[in-house]
Amino acid sequence: MRCDEPQRPMRRDPRAERNLRRCRTNEAESSTEACSRRRDPRLERDRRRQRPSIQLSSSGIQALLSDPASLSPLRSRHTARRGDPGSTLSPSLATRPSQPEILRIEAPSCWILVVPDAPSGALTSHDRDAIAAARLLADNKNGGVIALAPAAAADYGAIGIDRLVQLPDVHTEPAFRLATLEAILAEYAPAHIILPDTPLGGGHLGRLIATRQSLAIAPGVIRISGGELVRLADGGRIEQTLPAAPVILVAPESADPKPSARREARVLPIPALSEVDETIEDCGLLPVDPYSVPLQEADFIISAGNGVSDWESFSELAKVLNAAVAGTRAVCDANYLPRHRQVGASGTLVNPRCYLSFGISGAPQHLQGIARCERVIAVNTDLHADMIKRADLAIIADAQTVMPSLLALLRKQR
């Protein structure tokens, strides 16, 4: 810088000035007590919330238990805010959820008897539809619901059952089940008997009891509206409305299970049975040709796609599993399976309890055909296939490897 050039003023440093003010403030606070410190709202709030602590001796605790009203001056603000001035519970006890109230029916206007299938010891979705239909019909008549079912199949009180007649075994002989049902009819005189309309379970038992007792029957009921029943007629093209019959066979999804008050589910003894016809014996299902079972009636379907090349193992697996055979459109176009075995939007819409697929990628048309399947098991090498996303259980492997291994395992167990 030149000597004759005028000097420029020094530039302000805001940080230096702020630090200087802080130093002066700290010196003033340390030298005098007249300066008050900064007010902290949080400390004041915590100070206001403080409550005096109380220490009780053993004698004081005994006195407190004998006279709970002595604790009233020490109630927590939470309890007082809940509008219970006399409560002496602590906040943790006051907010503890109470047990659900059980709705008990002692003298209903009528009884509705429901007989679920429970084929494997547990209620199926179709069984729950039948129970929901029975609950709906009982509520319309101010009645109660009696279930004839295995005790361990479900929590009956939570699904609307007032009384339960326990079957001794899930594999009860048809003659014993029929005799028990007739004994319940004679003992409790239910206004209606509701069963799932299944070919080998409730459908057969309902038609049998209606024939033996000369009762009117309403099969294939798809909806219950008030005291009327709606069923499909004329090949499913029209809806027919008819009054509630003594025996009602409900179709799947005929009633939506709705949450309601918990019921008592009181266990009733099995009424005295008349002589049981022991000449009738349940020998299980007869072996059938997997290619002859209609897909609409199949309870277990094994299906093949383009990923299947070992058709011998596929057919043998279907026989061992006693499952109906199906396939995709591409398989039927290639003449590996007949056209009536095609599942999909342009084929057959199926609703089995289990759908086992091998080598199916999952085209939208095929997924439409299996939309109502209860359980889907998919075997495919593509982790990102749409069929894998739809499946309840997925196996990422080659179908030609899984099928022989599964066959060997089934033969070993049998």
Residues 234 and 146 in one domain: yes
| Structural domain of 334 | 295-413
Per-residue pLDDT tens digits for 286-327: 777 778 888 988 889 999 999 999 999 999 999 999 899 999
Least confident segment among 101-105, 234-238, 246-250, 387-391: 234-238
Q: At 134, which CATH number?
A: 3.40.50.620
Mean pLDDT of 235-259: 83
Query: If DSSP states are collapsed to H, E and C, what string results for 124-192?
Result: CHHHHHHHHHHHHHHHHCCCEEEEEEEHHHCCHHHHCCCEEEEECCCCCCHHHHHHHHHHHHHHHCCCE
Does a structural domain hold residue 394?
A: yes
Residues 256 and 348 in one domain: no
Per-residue pLDDT tens digits for 117-151: 888 778 888 899 999 999 999 988 899 999 998 88
**Number of domains forming the structure of the chain:** 2
CA 225 to chain centre: 24
Residues 148 and 259 in one domain: yes
Name the percent of the chain lying above pLDDT 90: 39
| CA gap 41, 22 in Å, rounded | 22
Residues 260 and 302 in one domain: no
Residues 255 and 367 in one domain: no
Residues 194 and 303 in one domain: no
Does a structural domain hold residue 357?
A: yes
Which of 214, 233, 268 is a domain's end point?
A: 268
Decide: 153 and 169 in contact? Cβ < 8 Å: no
Mean pLDDT of 361-367: 94
Least confident segment among 25-34, 207-216, 388-397: 25-34
| CA gap 168, 337 in Å, rounded | 44
Residues 117 and 211 in one domain: yes
What type of residue is 125? S
Which of 249, 268, 287 is a domain's end point?
A: 268
Residues 182 and 318 in one domain: no
Per-residue pLDDT tens digits for 62-84: 454 444 444 444 444 444 444 44
For residue 31, the model assigns a pLDDT of 55
Does a structural domain hold residue 89?
A: no
| CA gap 270, 146 in Å, rounded | 12
Residues 184 and 313 in one domain: no
Does a structural domain hold residue 110?
A: yes
Does a structural domain hold residue 94?
A: no
Residues 351 and 263 in one domain: no
Neighbours of 392 (CB within 10 A): 12
For residue 304, the model assigns a pLDDT of 96
| CA gap 149, 118 in Å, rounded | 7
Mean pLDDT of 9-28: 70
For the whole model, what pTM was predicted? 0.55
For residue 69, the model assigns a pLDDT of 47
For residue 312, the model assigns a pLDDT of 93
Residue 191, pLDDT > 70, answer yes
For residue 299, the model assigns a pLDDT of 85
Q: What proportions of the chain, in percent to the nearest 5, are helix, strand and coil?
A: 35, 20, 45
Ordered strands of the 376-380 beta sheet? 324-327, 300-304, 354-358, 376-380, 393-396
For residue 29, the model assigns a pLDDT of 57
Residues 183 and 259 in one domain: yes
Task: Name which residue leads in pLDDT, 355 or 24.
Answer: 355
Q: At 397, which CATH number?
A: 3.40.50.1220
Residues 144 and 238 in one domain: yes
In sequence order, the β-bridge partners of residue 196 are 250
| CA gap 325, 315 in Å, rounded | 8
